[in-house]
Amino acid sequence: MKPPRAWQRMLSGRRLDLLDPTPMDIEVEDIAHGLAFVARWNGQTKGDFAYSVAEHSLLVEALFRRMWPSARPAELLTALLHDAPEYVIGDMISPVKAAVGPDYGKLDERLTAAIHIRFGLPAATPVRLKQRIKKADKVSAWMEATQIAGFTEAEASRFFGRPKPEVIEGLDIVLRPPVEARNEFTARHAALLAAI
């Protein structure tokens, strides 16, 4: 019996093997395009456009930069790419990840390693950096929950913790067409890569 297909053809023409991804099959344009069309919150957000993982990634990187102003470009790039595997596996909410089990985590790790190596980052994110990115991610989740996902501030604070006002000051979530999020993600990636 023929095994099921475990690769995806990307718009760049690359063929990404999900079971054995290689850095040579990773292109930032594919990542940016895919993330710009993957909706966070299972699409349950206010507005005329879905809130994409590309938008979320840009917000997390901006928050990370505010929270750790002395962060090096490689650390900022790691923050920008923290959800990059979702360009092919989608954004699963935590309950779905739990239902899928440990295989989801293994797939995410394989893709992350290939993506990181492709852009000159360590295959595995150092623990301290991962913890810092997670803190920025939680601030992002609080902002998203209260601004576009219908949570009250009290409810969002129970799940994600209330962020310091100075961290989120002046940052608002503005939903926009996927092409705009894709282009900004690609531009930010290029700027950070050039700074490394």
HSE-up (13 A, CA, CB side) for residue 180: 8
pTM for the model stands at 0.94
pLDDT at 91 exceeding the cut of 90: no
Q: What is the mean pLDDT of residues 78-95?
A: 91
How far, in Å, CA of 166 to CA of 170, rounded? 9
Q: How sure is the predictor about 133, in pLDDT bands with cuts at 50, 70 and 90? A: very high
* Neighbouring C-beta atoms of residue 192, cutoff 10 Å: 21
Question: Burial of 80 by CB count in 10 Å (0-12 exposed, 13-18 middle, 19+ buried)?
Answer: buried
pLDDT for the residue numbered 162? 97
Q: What is the mean pLDDT of residues 174-184?
A: 96
Question: Burial of 174 by CB count in 10 Å (0-12 exposed, 13-18 middle, 19+ buried)?
Answer: exposed
Lowest mean pLDDT among 1-10, 46-55, 91-100, 104-113: 91-100
Q: What is the mean pLDDT of residues 74-92?
A: 95
Distance (Å) of CA 40 to CA 50, 116, 174, 195? 7, 22, 14, 29
Enumerate domains of the chain plus CATH numbers: 23-194 (1.10.3210.10)
Q: For the chain, report the end-to-end CA distance as a whole number of angstroms.
A: 47
The more confidently predicted of residues 94 and 12 is 12
Nearest Cα to Cα of residue 51 among 168, 145, 160, 165: 145
